[in-house]
Structure 1
Amino acid sequence: MIKSLVPPPGPARTLALAQLISRTGDGAYYVTAALFFTQVVGLSAARLGLGLTIAWTVALVLGVPLGHVTDRRGARGTAAFFFLCAAAAVGSYLVVRSFPLFVLAASLYAVGQRSGSAAQQALLAGVVPKEQLTKVRAFLQASYNAGLSVGAALGGIVLLFDTREAYLAAFALNACGFAVASLVLMRAPAVAPTPAAPKDEKGRSVFQDRPYVAVSLLNLVLVLHVPLIDVALPLWIVGHTEAPKWVLSVMFVLNTLAVVVFQVRVARGVTDLTSAARYVVRGGLLLGAGCVVFAFSGSGGSAWSAVLLLIAAAGVQTVGEMAQMAGTWEISFGLAPDGRHGQYQAFFGSGLTVAEIVGPLALTGLLVYWGAPGWILLGALFAAAGFAMVPVVKWGERRLAATTGAAGAPVAAEQQPAMD
């Protein structure tokens, strides 16, 4: 397991360490935040949800413009700055006691966390050779999950004490985590900023890169597995199956540990855009198959049969998640022009933000209220998005070749078979 967390010495190890530190604090925050703001601060559940929706919407709107700032100012300094903003936001929770100030602090946190992560991806693209990006990104994902797991365990201790001081200690840990991660990032090599483009030059914005926009939209569908696990699945288990509630913890632990241990191994098979597209197809099919098994878990059998089906479905989806992530990492980096990874990674990452904003409501309606047919439809959407990635990636290769003048390599890649 340790080998799955520790990349080779150099910039990759620095980035993984920053990821581990920042996400440990985030893990404690995620477990404790809702109870703190509702039970200690006194916000209603509706106000808490509204405030978080506003915050993540602000982060979504500002994502690409701040990604452009990352390109122009340099990825290392902006990543460190955004993480410091997140640290300041979480630190302010120690004194925030009103709804307007909560919305302001939550917005700063969302912007700092999301823009910092996008800048970190741009820094990764600038300090790691292209052929190693997906492998290193897998190490970072393993560090991400390990940090969240440790943080969640610490958050569980906070919930055990269930005091105001314990909650504040969790927030202080998160603030310190972002601050320390910011200092760690400054140890990475600097990436030269991208000079301003001439005013008459076309195609400089990610919004004008139609293949990349299409890839990002398909990825938005695929990352619906995140709010699926966080929101819709718990409601499905409670309302439609005979399984006990503790099965949720088992599924979460298995998912987290599997990603920590196996994500780097899974990513080894992704070597170029063609293999990346194949992995996304496999990921989409596995995510879809998991949905079908979830549908059968509510068929009215015994509690133990429901538990076995739920765990089996979660296992299938975890493998699909790892394949999908490994493929889309390569695609998100491979189709982005050099010097513009800040805005491109910000735009690509905005798909997860949209999924977290829209997904809970959409998936709750689809799965909790429609039932098994909703699971089948969601599975079909996952599979369709995976298959659609193959022609869209080829489209993106052609556009990138045309804009960079390197037509040889992408054309050769298009002639390879899309599936094994």
Structure 2
Amino acid sequence: MPRILPQPGPPRVLAQAQLANSLGDGAFYATSALFFTRIVGLSATRVGLALTIGWCVGMLAGVPLGHLADRWGPRRTARLLAVCTASALLAFLVVRSYPLFVLMFCLYACCQGGLTSARQALLAGLVDADERTRVRAQLQSTLNGGLALGAGLGGVALALDSEPAYLVVFAVDAVTFLLAALVLGRLPEVPPAPAEPGGGPRLEVLRDRPYALLTVLNAILYLNMPLLSLGLPLWIVERSDAPAPMAAVVLVLNMLSVVAFQVRVARQVTGLPTAVRTTARAGWVLLAACGVYALSGFSTGAAVAVGVLVVAALIQVFGEMMHGAGAWELGFGLARDGKQGQYQGFFGMGPQIARMLGPVVMTTLLIGWGTAGWLVLGGLFLLAALSIGPVARRAERRVTDSVAP
């Protein structure tokens, strides 16, 4: 536990805030689909459309809200957005009109995206540069632990399958965001960035092409998330001999592995050169995981398929943790001073892009192409991981040139 928990001070407070609302988020993610269909009365198609619109809007809001954190102060911005997130969650308790539902989900997604940007800016401002990746790994372990516990609470509501149970989950999620806002109030404020002299660009990250390309490559590597949540469950049911509950087993195994090993894996990343090397290794590991996953599609019986899936899942989670550690160092280290909010908001678009593209990529490659699709997906992981090195070096030169006298 001493290795997993951040040291006392700002890192510990950030972890406490992360734990507070990740508990609520875990319950929300486990129950929201059934709440919107069973209680609100929306069709699955309309819910899917609303979620797609909302997450797309939230992704686009990350950069301007991150810029607001730079100029207004990340602690103040994070607390405000946490309160706004709680308000959106409470609105779901009474909203039954579809247009209002879409509007509220857009608000919720925007606040979530902006809150992530502001928190990253807080971390960058309150933690020394050589400690950021380690602390970010500890926060990721905290996040996964909270999500797992929250999902268990959501499971109770699913078992009860009643309107009061679902309403309690949404109310609890709102309360956890209010609690997170209170916890963040214990942090010192990071001094806001001064205004650009001579009317310089307000959103400089939009002009930073190497950083933009880095974000795109990072998005490809983040396809490991919809692989786990969408592609693999479909593959297990339609293409393997393993029982359907194996999808849940793999997800739990992934979460527990991140809680236990993310901090240890992140130790190998101590700067930009090690981040590039670790990311390249992650590409090879993810390629290997895809190759093993493909073996589970051969008709060898349920027991063998289960064993193969467990081995592949363990390989994948270590590739995922290596990628995460490298990405955090690159995202922080290649951002401009005083602009961490907008840069983190932009870099945070990577997972959102992966979530939006994931359904099409996973169904086309894994279900449509079968074994060959796994190899193509693994090749994409490897190509993106190996391409990050030259792009990162180009981005580093640009940062160095910008601070040179």
Q: Is the 8 A contact 1:197 1:204 kept in 2?
A: no
- Paired with 1:201 and 1:43, the residues of 2 have a C-alpha distance of 47
Deviation at 1:204, TM superposition (A): 5.8
Which segment drifts farther, 178-187 or 357-366?
357-366
The reply on whether 1:36 has 2:35 as its aligned counterpart is yes
Partner of residue 137, structure 1? 136
Code of the aligned partner of 1:238? V
- Paired with 2:280 and 2:269, the residues of 1 have a C-alpha distance of 13
Partner of residue 374, structure 1? 373
How many aligned residue pairs are there?
Answer: 405
Q: Is the 8 A contact 1:90 1:171 kept in 2?
A: yes
Code of the aligned partner of 2:273? T
The reply on whether 1:81 has 2:80 as its aligned counterpart is yes
Deviant stretches of 4+, over 2 Å: 2-5, 198-204
Partner of residue 226, structure 1? 225
Partner of residue 187, structure 1? 186
- Paired with 2:280 and 2:132, the residues of 1 have a C-alpha distance of 20
Cα deviation digits, residues 295-330 of structure 1 (max 9, x gap): 111112211111111111111000000000001100
Partner of residue 166, structure 1? 165
Partner of residue 273, structure 1? 272
- Paired with 1:138 and 1:159, the residues of 2 have a C-alpha distance of 31
Cα deviation digits, residues 50-78 of structure 1 (max 9, x gap): 00011011112222111111111010000
- Paired with 2:190 and 2:65, the residues of 1 have a C-alpha distance of 16
Give the TM-score taking structure 1 as reference length.
Answer: 0.94
Equivalence map 1:1-400=2 (5 Å): 2-199=1-198, 201=200, 205-400=204-399
- Paired with 1:5 and 1:82, the residues of 2 have a C-alpha distance of 27
Deviation at 1:203, TM superposition (A): 9.3
Code of the aligned partner of 1:81? L
- Paired with 2:49 and 2:325, the residues of 1 have a C-alpha distance of 33
Deviation at 1:199, TM superposition (A): 3.9
- Paired with 1:300 and 1:241, the residues of 2 have a C-alpha distance of 7
Deviation at 1:224, TM superposition (A): 0.5
Code of the aligned partner of 1:41? V
Which segment drifts farther, 91-100 or 45-54?
91-100
Q: Is the 8 A contact 2:67 2:203 kept in 1?
A: no
Cα deviation digits, residues 154-200 of structure 1 (max 9, x gap): 01111111111001111011100111101111111100111111345
Which segment drifts farther, 97-106 or 48-57?
97-106
Cα deviation digits, residues 227-260 of structure 1 (max 9, x gap): 1111111111100001001211211111111100
SS in 2 for 1:3: coil
- Paired with 1:255 and 1:368, the residues of 2 have a C-alpha distance of 22
Deviation at 1:112, TM superposition (A): 0.9
Cα deviation digits, residues 259-294 of structure 1 (max 9, x gap): 001111111111010001111011111111111111
| Gap change, CA 1:88 and 1:203, over 3 Å in 2 | closer
- Residue segments in structure 2 that go unaligned for 5+ positions in a row: none
- Paired with 1:180 and 1:201, the residues of 2 have a C-alpha distance of 38
- Paired with 1:340 and 1:29, the residues of 2 have a C-alpha distance of 32
- Paired with 1:3 and 1:221, the residues of 2 have a C-alpha distance of 33
Deviation at 1:350, TM superposition (A): 0.8
Deviation at 1:5, TM superposition (A): 3.6
SS in 1 for 2:96: coil
- Paired with 1:201 and 1:170, the residues of 2 have a C-alpha distance of 46
- Residue segments in structure 1 that go unaligned for 5+ positions in a row: 407-420
Code of the aligned partner of 2:378? G
- Paired with 1:4 and 1:91, the residues of 2 have a C-alpha distance of 36
- Paired with 1:200 and 1:45, the residues of 2 have a C-alpha distance of 47
- Paired with 1:191 and 1:55, the residues of 2 have a C-alpha distance of 30
Which segment drifts farther, 125-134 or 284-293?
284-293
Q: Is the 8 A contact 1:280 1:323 kept in 2?
A: yes
Q: Is the 8 A contact 1:4 1:142 kept in 2?
A: no
Q: Is the 8 A contact 2:226 2:354 kept in 1?
A: yes
Partner of residue 410, structure 1? none
- Paired with 2:251 and 2:152, the residues of 1 have a C-alpha distance of 12
Code of the aligned partner of 1:36? F
Cα deviation digits, residues 97-137 of structure 1 (max 9, x gap): 12111111111111111110111000000000111000100
- Paired with 1:144 and 1:114, the residues of 2 have a C-alpha distance of 16
Deviation at 1:381, TM superposition (A): 0.5
- Paired with 2:181 and 2:281, the residues of 1 have a C-alpha distance of 36
- Paired with 1:377 and 1:362, the residues of 2 have a C-alpha distance of 11
Q: Is the 8 A contact 2:133 2:266 kept in 1?
A: yes
- Paired with 1:184 and 1:305, the residues of 2 have a C-alpha distance of 48
Q: Is the 8 A contact 1:4 1:261 kept in 2?
A: no
Code of the aligned partner of 1:278? R
- Paired with 2:220 and 2:105, the residues of 1 have a C-alpha distance of 26
Q: Is the 8 A contact 1:68 1:343 kept in 2?
A: yes
Give the TM-score taking structure 2 as reference length.
Answer: 0.98
Q: Is the 8 A contact 2:203 2:342 kept in 1?
A: no
Q: Is the 8 A contact 1:211 1:395 kept in 2?
A: yes
Q: Is the 8 A contact 2:18 2:180 kept in 1?
A: yes
Q: Is the 8 A contact 1:4 1:262 kept in 2?
A: no
Q: Is the 8 A contact 1:32 1:155 kept in 2?
A: yes
